Amino acid sequence: MNKDQVEGRVDQAKGKIKEVTGKVVGNEKLQGEGIADQATGKVQSTYGDVKEKAKDAIKSGADKL
């Protein structure tokens, strides 16, 4: 697991907390920030997943040499 995967998943979790808190207290701005944070976290974790797969593919290819 790499840094982008971890940070992305943390951002998703923080975003979910903000979203739920915004719903509970009736704060649409906080709710919207939470949704945006979740989307940002998803993009970053997906980027980390792609990096990890590329690294694994390169390693696998190098092992075949």
Cα 45 from Cα 13, distance rounded (Å): 12
pLDDT tens string 21-51: 999 999 999 999 999 999 999 999 999 999 9
pLDDT of residue 65: 63
Mean of all residue pLDDT scores within the chain: 95
- As for how many domains the chain has, the answer is 1
pLDDT tens string 1-13: 999 999 999 999 9
Half-sphere exposure at residue 26, Cβ-oriented, CA atoms within 13 angstroms: 0
Q: Would you place residue 63 in the very low, low, confident or very high pLDDT band (cuts 50, 70, 90)?
A: confident
pLDDT of residue 56: 92
Domain range for 15 = 3-63
